[in-house]
């Protein structure tokens, strides 16, 4: 049996808030945005920020075990009461840069399905 790779360490990532999310204001009112985040097979999501619209606040930390994963996938979704949740934007981040720096505080650009700028999320790692 193949040996499990040794964990490189833990990476704690805090999702603070969204800024100017373009899909935050819809015809039927403000979006209820939440974050889905994955590193390898580890997946987490924040609670939806009810009526958070363009400027949702999450203030949620997740802790990942890092071994040989190189990227973090982020999706911003709009929680729907009926039907499937709506895609608001996405980002892929190289976590090697963060590990090299030891930490990261700042904003990440979110892109829509056409890879156009769709807002930012503020994170702290």
For the stretch 40-94, pLDDT in tens is 999 999 999 999 999 999 999 999 988 888 999 999 999 998 899 999 999 999 8
In a domain, 57, yes or no: yes
What pLDDT score was predicted for residue 20? 95
103 has a pLDDT exceeding 90: no
Tokens 């619209």 correspond to 53
What pLDDT score was predicted for residue 5? 56
What pLDDT score was predicted for residue 24? 82
Do residues 75 and 81 make contact, with C-beta atoms less than 8 angstroms apart? Answer: no
In a domain, 1, yes or no: no
In a domain, 77, yes or no: yes
Q: What CATH number did the domain enclosing 81 receive?
A: 2.60.40.150
What pLDDT score was predicted for residue 8? 66
* Dist CA 10 CA 61 (whole Å): 12
In a domain, 113, yes or no: yes
Do residues 8 and 108 make contact, with C-beta atoms less than 8 angstroms apart? Answer: no
7 has a pLDDT exceeding 60: no
58-80 burial, b if ≥16 CB within 10 A, otherwise e?
A: bebebebebeebeebebbbbbee
Reported as type and span, the H/E element at residue 64 is: strand 57-66
In a domain, 4, yes or no: no
């Amino acid at each position: 049996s193949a040996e499990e790779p040794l964990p490189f360490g833990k990476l704690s990532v805090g999702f603070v808030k969204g800024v100017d999310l373009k899909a935050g204001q819809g015809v039927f009112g403000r979006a209820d945005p939440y974050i889905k985040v994955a590193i390898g097979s580890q997946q987490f999501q924040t609670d939806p920020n009810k009526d958070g619209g363009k400027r949702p606040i999450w203030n949620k930390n997740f802790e990942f075990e890092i071994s040989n994963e190189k990227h973090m996938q982020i999706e911003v979704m709009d929680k729907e009461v009926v039907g499937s949740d709506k895609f608001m934007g996405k980002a892929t981040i190289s976590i090697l840069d963060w590990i090299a720096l030891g930490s990261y505080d700042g904003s990440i650009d979110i892109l829509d399905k056409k890879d156009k700028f769709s807002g930012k999320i503020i994170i702290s790692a």
